[in-house]
Amino acid sequence: MPYYRSVGEVPRKRHTQFRQPDGSLYAEELMGQEGFSSDSSLLYHRHAPTAIVAAEEFTPPAFTRVPNLPLKPRHLRTHKLDGVGADPVLGRQYLLANDDVRIAYVLADRPSPLFRDATGDHCLYVESGTLRVESTFGVLDAVAGDYVVIPTSTIHRLVPTGDAPTRLLAVEAAGHIGPPKRYLSVRGQFLEHSPYCERDVRGPDAPLLVDDTDVEVLVRHRRGWTRYVYAHHPFDVVGWDGHMYPWAFSIHDFEPITGRIHQPPPVHQTFQGPNFVICSFVPRKVDYHPDAIPVPYNHHNVDSDEMLFYTGGNYEARRGSGIEQGSISLHPSGFTHGPQPGAAERSIGADFFDELAVMVDTFRPLDLCDAAQACEDDAYAWTWARRA
C-alpha cells in the first residue's frame, strides 16, 4: 500500500523488547514482500504465530480450464450461477484463468473459513451487499462498489453482513496487486494526476482480538492446499505498523479523466498486477469535441485479452447485445472488437455516460473455466453481424 499506517499498540523502536502485562514478550512477526526488499508490516502477537498442532493436506473444490476455442468473444451471465449460496472463499465459481490470474464469482451467504493465500494478492469487488473482512490486521467493512485488496499470506475471514447475500467478483493474482506505478512518486505518494489518492483509501483502524485455541486455517500455497490447526487464534495481534495490510477503495471515489475526443482504457486504470491491469469505468462527462464519437472505436489489443464486468448503469457501446447487470464480456487478443452496430451513431451528441464496469486486461490468454461454460450466452459472438 502506498502509505504508512499504525494501528493499536506498538513499541517506539522496531525489533526491541515489547512486553505484555505479565512481563512476557509479545511475539513480533514481519510480513514482507520480495525477500525483505519491498513493502512490509510488523505485527505483535500475544502468542507465537508459528505454533501449529496439526497439518494435513486439503482438497479444495475443483475446477477445470480449457482454451478459448474456437477463438471468439464471449458473454457470461454471472447471475445465472445463483444457487443455494456459498461461503465467499470455497464457494467461488471460477470463470476465467491463466497462470497470472484467476477470476471468480460468488453469491455469498455465510462466513468463509479462516484462509491464507500464499500464492498472491486478492482484489475483491463487491457488486452488491455488504462484507466484513476480518484479518490479523483488524476489521475492514466493505459495501457495494468497494474494491478490497488482501495482501499475499494475510490470514483472513470474509463475512457477509447484510440481510441479502453478497455478490463478489474475485481477482486472484499470482503476485502482488497495487496502484499503477505511474500514479506514485518515488517515495510512494499518490501524484496529482492520479484519479484517486490516500484520502480515498481505507484500512483497518483497530486490532481484532480473539482468544480461541486449536483454530483451523486453510492455506493455499505453491504446492497445493494445507489445513493447519493453530495452537492459538491468529487474530491475537495487539498492534501493527507498516505499508502492507488489507485496504479498500470505492469505485465511486475514482475520478474519471476525460477529454475532447475518446480517451483510451489506460485512463481508467485503477490497479496493476503481474501481467494484468484492473480498470474502472464510472459515470462521467464524455468527449466534448464538436465532432466527437463518445463510444470506443473498433480496436484490437494485440497483446491482451479484455474482460469487462458490468456492474451498474447502461454501457452504451454494448447496448443491443444482451448485456445486463452482472454480465461479463471477454474479447480475446486475435479478435477485433468494438461497439455494437448502431452504437456509434446513437452516441453522437451525448454529454454524459451513466455506466459502471470493472475491466481486467491480461497479457496472456484467458482460459474458460467450468462456471463460464455454464453461464455463457452462445449468441453473443454473432451480435455484430446484425443491427440491434
List, by residue number, the catalytic residues: 262
Is 337 annotated to bind ligand?
A: yes
Measured CA to CA in angstroms, residue 131 lies from 54, 197, 248, 335, 336 at distances of 30, 23, 11, 37, 38
**CA distances (Å), 24 to each of 69, 211, 364, in order?**
61, 17, 51
Q: Is 122 annotated as a binding residue?
A: no
Q: Which residues contact 90 (CB under 8 A, 6 or more apart)?
A: 60, 61, 112, 113, 218
Q: Establish whether 305 is an annotated binding residue.
A: yes
Scanning the structure block, which residue is given the C-alpha cell 475532447? 260
Place of cell 514482500: 33
Strand partners, 190: 184
Pairing of strands 130-135, 138-143: antiparallel
End-to-end CA distance of the chain: 45
147 is in an annotated binding site: no
Distance CA 23, CA 9 (A): 15
Residues composing the chain = 388
Does residue 76 contact residue 372 with C-beta atoms inside 8 Å? yes
> Sign (positive/negative) of CA torsion 207, 212, 214, 218?
negative
Annotated binding site for Fe cation: 299, 305, 337
Annotated binding site for homogentisate: 315
Annotated binding site: 299, 305, 315, 337
